[in-house]
Structure 1
Amino acid sequence: MLQGLLYSLISAFSFASMAILVKLGYNAGLDGNEMMQYRFTYAAVLLALYLFIKDRSLLRISLRDLGKCAFIGLVVYWAQTSCFVNALATIPASTAALVLYVYPVTVTLLSAAFLKMKIDRITVAALTLVMGGCCLVFYDAFLKAVDPTGLMFGVGAMLVFSCYLVLVQVLLKGIKPLTATLYVMSFAAVSFTLSGDITAWLNQSWNSVSIGLGLGIFPGVLAVTFLYLSIEKIGSAYTSIFSSVEPVATLAAAVMFLNENVVLLQMSGAALIILGIVIPNMRMLMLKRRFES
């Protein structure tokens, strides 16, 4: 459980950079599809180079598994990321994050319905703390003017992302995480290049290269690889709960890079999120100690 927690935390902190980088990209005049085109292409190229040097066996994949990665990259990842980026274009990052972070509840319900996961009182308590913490962290999100179209895209991102986490657990089971990451990223790069502007590669600037590399490394290679590692270790439901530390990371990044103010309620929300993550792990440690004794 602890190893899965560590992986999910690394993934969450890496994903948290996406909202900040996308906002900076919009401020620099970049298009949403263009940024995702750079994100997935840079991520796929960097990871392919790493695997070619480190372990070429991880580049091998069966046609059946390649088809699974193609479905997730071309369809599921494209739909989820497009919704989230379009939401960020018209609503505050905090509002988009608040809507997205309903997903631990939906993932847990989907896991109970389709993966026969047992929902116990500890899981319910953890979810309650996490969701309450998210609401406090982004307490003022809906006090601001919220564009209904952006809100609709935010809800769409949450629903697709919930399904995505469950599909990863089912479809990518047995595929090595780095291999799965490479091919899912590659197919996502294809989907965003086809839906975006392929000529954008001919008009690169320092801003597009730096933001593209940032998106490729942090919410790209690192976030997705450690997400798959976490799901492999502890399943999609617990990964979604533990990954809820992302709003805390987003809040901290927003303070540093977007000059947003933090108030006591938001800090209290961050504490609730962390408590919601600690509870399941404390239970697992107690059970392990009883078993060993």
Structure 2
Amino acid sequence: MFKTSSKTTIGIIYAILGILLFSAKAVLVKLAYGYSIDHLTLLLFRMVFALPFYVAIAYKCKNSKSVTIRTKDYLWLFLFGFLGYYLASLFDFVGLQYIKAGLERIILFIYPTIVVLLSWLFFKKKLSTQQSLAIFITYVGVLITFWDEIGLEGTSVYKGAFLIFLSAITYASYLVGSGWLIPKFGVLRFTANAMIVSTFCVVVHFLIQGNYAIFSYPKEVYFISAVMAIFCTLIPSFLVSSAIEKLGANTFSIFGSLGPVSTIVLAFIFLEERISLLQVVGMLIVISGVSIISKKKEE
């Protein structure tokens, strides 16, 4: 009895810490933009600073699975790394140039509903009445939250919201497509290799379009980038994986609603972003809809 209780307690702590650390990323990105760094260079710093750790993990886990991994599996891994960690991150970083960190997290938070919709469209999985209602509720909540931003920043808020929505779509596509591949590699090995692929894509992108002035920024930029790479990417990825292992995906999903809430609070403290009553209402509606979706997926 004691061991079970202790395991659950540790899982809860890991879940809360992992979600809080992940949610702080948007705030750090906005802080870095205050030093006039472009999105591509900032994304490069984030990926490169985390790369040595993922290379070490990939090397350590290279023989961890007895299942035969074929060439086509690595090709699929490359595709999912490109889609889920490079493209989704790129859309996210660009979108954050135009909208607030709190709104970004709320829009990204709808990805479970996109997973359900993609599964319905491409894999013909039946969409239940409960799921349809949950999706409707979620997008009403996003609309309410977004409505409060219209007119405050001109048309740029539309562009930012659309880019963040694309980030949610690409990340959801990664989740839907990679589900069958992760058991072959194992969670740690797959994630580490996907991050290596993503870093490669970012480096290639930077070599083509980057400004090459990577040593000309204030020391604060490198500090923020390092914190983002270690504390908002590397560490929470393992905390969340461990939490899911100890609690189960269904229980873990309950804590997912902490993400948008913590981002909005952190943005209010560090970025002085305005929090309106309408946004709070919209956020609660989004959380309710996603909670219904997450619960339904596990049943």
Give 1:32's aligned amino acid: H
- Structure 2 residue aligned with 1:209: 222
Evaluate the alpha carbon distance shift between residue 94 and residue 271 of structure 1 in structure 2; reply closer, same or farther with a 3 A threshold: closer
- Structure 2 residue aligned with 1:146: 155
Deviation at 1:17, TM superposition (A): 1.8
Give the alignment partner of residue 254 of structure 1, picking from 252, 264, 267.
267
Give 2:117's aligned amino acid: L
Quick one: distance in 2 between partners of 1:188 and 1:276? 31
1:58 aligns with 2:65: no
Per the normalisation by structure 2, the TM-score is 0.72
Aligned-partner SS, 2:185: coil
Cα contact 1:13–1:246 (8 A) shared by 2: yes
Per the normalisation by structure 1, the TM-score is 0.73
1:263 aligns with 2:270: no
Evaluate the alpha carbon distance shift between residue 129 and residue 83 of structure 1 in structure 2; reply closer, same or farther with a 3 A threshold: same
- Structure 2 residue aligned with 1:42: 49
1:181 aligns with 2:191: yes
1:85-124 Cα deviation digits (max 9, x unpaired): 1222233334544544443332211123445545444444
Deviation at 1:60, TM superposition (A): 3.9
- Structure 1 residue aligned with 2:4: none
Give 1:189's aligned amino acid: T
- Structure 2 residue aligned with 1:25: 32
Deviation at 1:27, TM superposition (A): 0.5
After TM superposition, list the pairs within 5 Å mapping 1:3-18 onto structure 2.
12-18=19-25
Quick one: distance in 1 between partners of 2:262 and 2:271? 13
**Structure with greater helix share of residues:** 1
Q: How many residues align?
A: 278
Give 1:23's aligned amino acid: K
Evaluate the alpha carbon distance shift between residue 182 and residue 84 of structure 1 in structure 2; reply closer, same or farther with a 3 A threshold: same
Evaluate the alpha carbon distance shift between residue 115 and residue 228 of structure 1 in structure 2; reply closer, same or farther with a 3 A threshold: farther
1:105 aligns with 2:108: no
Q: Structure 2 unaligned runs (5+)?
A: 1-7
RMSD: 4.1
Deviation at 1:32, TM superposition (A): 0.8
Quick one: distance in 2 between partners of 1:231 and 1:164? 18
Quick one: distance in 1 between partners of 2:164 and 2:294? 30
Quick one: distance in 1 between partners of 2:297 and 2:74? 35
Deviation at 1:139, TM superposition (A): 4.5
Evaluate the alpha carbon distance shift between residue 168 and residue 244 of structure 1 in structure 2; reply closer, same or farther with a 3 A threshold: farther
Q: Which moved more, 1:106-115 or 1:118-127?
A: 118-127
- Structure 2 residue aligned with 1:190: 200
1:114-147 Cα deviation digits (max 9, x unpaired): 4554544444454455444444455512242232
Deviation at 1:41, TM superposition (A): 1.8
1:200-224 Cα deviation digits (max 9, x unpaired): 5544642222111122124422454
Q: Structure 1 unaligned runs (5+)?
A: 288-293
Aligned residues with identical type, % of pairs: 23
- Structure 2 residue aligned with 1:83: 91
Give 1:246's aligned amino acid: G
- Structure 1 residue aligned with 2:5: none
Quick one: distance in 1 between partners of 2:271 and 2:264? 10
Quick one: distance in 2 between partners of 1:18 and 1:260? 15
Quick one: distance in 2 between partners of 1:195 and 1:282? 38
1:186-243 Cα deviation digits (max 9, x unpaired): 12112112212495554464222211112212442245446667899649xx998974
